[in-house]
Amino acid sequence: MTSKKTKIIVVAGPTGSGKSALALQLAERIGGEIVNADSMQLYRGMDIGTSKPAPEELERVPHHLFSIVSPDTNFSASDYRREAAAAISDIESRGRTPIVVGGTGLYIKALLHGLVDSPTGDPELRLAFQDLSGDELLERLREVDPETAARLHPNDRVRLVRALEVYSQTGRAISDFRAEHAFADTEYEALKLAPKVERAALYNRIEDRVDRMMEGGLLAEVASLMERGYGVEHKAMRAIGYKELCAHLAGEISLPEAVALIKRDTRRYAKRQLTWFTRDNEIYWLEYPESFATIVKIVIEFLA
């Protein structure tokens, strides 16, 4: 007899769409606790530029996986899955409802569906492929894994090299690992929600939010991080808002140029997030706050 799956609420969507406000109001209404699924809000000291919940919001309901690692830590999707699963288990054990909120689609996918159990990367093997053209890589892959080769373009070097790397290490096609993974069961039964926002309105929100971040001290936050030894050599500091202001503080670009780049790159990031999440036909896209009563109704029916 299979054990009953843990029910969780997932509030996803692009940056600036209002998902954090929705998750907070929903948590208060249903007795929930929030689990972060934003890859940048994990980092300590990176508060303004990642739009972390304000102290008064943190006091309203319990929040998990915010500010848990330093900016020089490489935190993977596998690390996230482990930490989020532990937080969800703790929340459920106390009779509360886990509400996972964030815009990092890979983290949400890793949590709900796990990660393909294929070998870790091998830098030496990757060097062996670096002099091959995309067409040559694709031709090699066709010989050992025609299924994966049929899905890839010669310009997609990262995935081509990864597929060849897996075959070189194991003698098995990466498509075989994915096929096995597809039959793996998930631990969670998830209701996925996302605030519905027109793209033009979303872009306006993003620009306004960047202005508020600058007024709220983002430049000083980045300067403080750099003074403590965190720079663009660390993955976290290459996040939008941080890399541009690092460049400004290094004298490479003016402040107005940096702000314009932050706005542009955030718009582009939101567009990529929209593309990712709109491919997921399990997501309920609902206007917020206008449809909050409907959202609560859907959630209560799901939990019941």
For the chain, domains (ranges, CATH) are 6-114+184-303 (3.40.50.300), 123-182 (1.10.20.140)
pLDDT at 42 over 50: yes
CA distances from residue 281 to 241, 256, 276, 297 in whole angstroms, order as listed: 31, 40, 11, 20
User: What is the pTM (predicted TM-score) of this model?
Assistant: 0.81
**Cα-only R_g, the chain:** 21
Band (pLDDT 50/70/90 cuts) for residue 82 is: very high
CA-CA distance, 53 to 38, in Å (whole number)?
A: 12
pLDDT (tens digit per residue) in 246-289 = 999 999 999 999 999 999 999 999 999 999 999 999 999 999 99
| pLDDT for the residue numbered 177 | 66
Please state whether beta strands 97-101 and 32-36 pair in parallel, antiparallel, or not at all (unpaired): parallel
Lowest average pLDDT, out of 78-87, 141-150, 165-174, goes to 165-174
